[in-house]
Chain A
Amino acid sequence: MDELPQQTDWRRWLEDHAPKFLLFARQQARSEADAQDLVQEAVVEAARRRADGLPPPSALVFATIRRRAIDLARCEDRRAGRESAAADPTPVDWFDTSVEDRERNQLIQDAMSRLPEMYREVVTLKVWGGLTFAEIAETLGIPANTAASRYRYGLIELRKLTREVLA
């Protein structure tokens, strides 16, 4: 379930949730700049949709990121900018490289990037987003059973891609 703070501490909420929002956005967008814009726009939009002033549920922010990413991909006038940004050779680390094994983190990132999108987004939302299958289903607009099966197949595919390191 989503962990909503009882007291409105937005700074703490951002520190806790922004990393996973950005991770999901980086997988949805084609450039780092677009990913950061997606996070900002989604957080602000989700916050404004909450009339009670409390931080929005994570599932709502994830869903907003995904919807805006789709809109962004459909936007023809942004295509040139995306393509030029996608050609940017500067790598972006999806995971915190200050802890554990940097090489292993990079391997999982590479494997995640090669994972089909329908599996990757479910695995990301489940493992690092902390959502339930019901929330994932609501976020992606799919049945909960489909979300669960995609998660299972996604893990299998990801294990194949990382077998030589994590086996």
Chain B
Amino acid sequence: MIERDDELFEAELRKLTPAPPPPELMARLAAALPQPATLSPQPPWWLLLRWLAPVAAGAALVAALLFWWSTAPDRQPHVKPVTASLKTAPKADEIEIDRQLVALFDAVAQLPNGQPVRFRCREWADEVVLRDPARGIVIERRTPRLEVVPIRFETY
């Protein structure tokens, strides 16, 4: 009898429904929740894909870079171009090596003990000319060079 009364009383309680929240609170809740896009139900494979996608993209990028690196023309092994260059390289049959004196001057310095030292300075221009008359190729290279020779006064 008592248990029956308890059940009836519990049923009476269940007839009551909690008061609905005020609209302001519902609006606050709706605004405070995360965006619907982030709350959409996502299957486990999508969650896994979400993490795997950047990794896969990175791996694909690395693979593409490696492929490009190995197939780029300027990255080919140098054996073939060298061989080709040997076949097509100009013949260095006519080589001229010359040097021209551009300037000559002396400079005087003083050692820590007070002894003067003279430096004879020469400025040269070394020139190399390579010609291949068969191909009509002329290669010139001109390099400046400074020559400094110390001369002690006592040697005079």
Q: Which A residues contact B (CB, under 8 angstroms)?
A: 6-8, 10-11, 14-15, 18-20, 22-23, 36, 39-40, 43-44, 47-48, 51-54, 92-97, 99-100, 105, 108, 123, 127-128, 152, 155-156, 158-159, 166
Contact = CB atoms under 8 A, between A and B. Distances in A.
B25 A53 contact: no
Contact of A155 (B6, B26, B34): B6
19 contacts: A6-B41, A8-B41, A10-B36, A18-B20, A19-B18, A23-B19, A36-B25, A39-B29, A43-B29, A44-B33, A51-B47, A53-B40, A54-B41, A94-B18, A95-B16, A96-B16, A127-B14, A159-B6, A166-B9
Contacts of B25: 18, 22, 36, 39-40
B72 interface: no
A158 B16 CA distance: 14
Contacts, number: 104
Contacts of B10: 127, 155
A48 B38 CA distance: 10
Contacts of B47: 51-52
A159 B9 contact: yes
A42 B23 CA distance: 18
B36 A36 contact: no
Contacts of B100: none
Q: Is the interface of A mostly helix, strand, loop or mixed?
A: helix
B12 to A, nearest CB: 6
A43 B29 CA distance: 8
Nearest to A55: B39
A117 B29 CA distance: 27
Contact of A19 (B9, B21, B41): B21
A4 to B, nearest CB: 10
Contacts of A105: 16
A96 B29 contact: no
Contact of A99 (B17, B32, B36): B17
Interface in B1-59: 5-6, 9-10, 12-22, 25-26, 28-30, 32-34, 36, 38-42, 47
